Amino acid sequence: MLMQKDIREVQLAKSAVVSGIKILMNELQIESGQIKNIFIAGAFGNHVRGQDAVDSGLIPAVPIERIKFIGNAALAGAEAVLLSQEARRKAEHLTVKVGYVEISECSDFHEFFVESMHFPYQE
């Protein structure tokens, strides 16, 4: 049975994800139309369809073919770097290109979080 508590948990999770995406887009100074791919990892990807993620406002409105479900990326990456020197070199190269953003400390986080709580209205 679906309860109000369940809906609230989904709202909070969605709001956190959307806030993170908005902050990262601001950091990179890009609009949603400039996003080449969205990768959805983990068990979550087994339970959501790309169009549903867009329709619910969970991810930016990008063409569905740009949404990729990649399964357990952490496990696959760990296996790859343990078993392949080539994968290890690629991972080491990525560490130079990847940045870290403490989303909860961004000044816009609270505003984004509150405005992202609602679900888009659709008929």
Predicted pLDDT at 123 = 61
From first to last of its 123 residues, what are the pLDDT tens digits of the chain?
889 999 999 899 999 999 999 999 999 999 999 999 999 998 877 788 899 999 999 999 999 999 999 999 999 999 999 999 999 999 999 999 998 999 888 999 999 999 998 888 766
Predicted pLDDT at 85 = 97
Predicted pLDDT at 63 = 94
Predicted pLDDT at 64 = 94
SS3 label, residue 49: coil
Predicted pLDDT at 120 = 81
In the chain, which residue ranges form alpha helices assigned H by DSSP? 4-28, 50-55, 73-83, 85-97, 109-115
Closest C-alpha among 38, 47, 32 to residue 65: 38
Q: What are the structure tokens assigned to 77, written together? A: 């990456």
Predicted pLDDT at 122 = 63
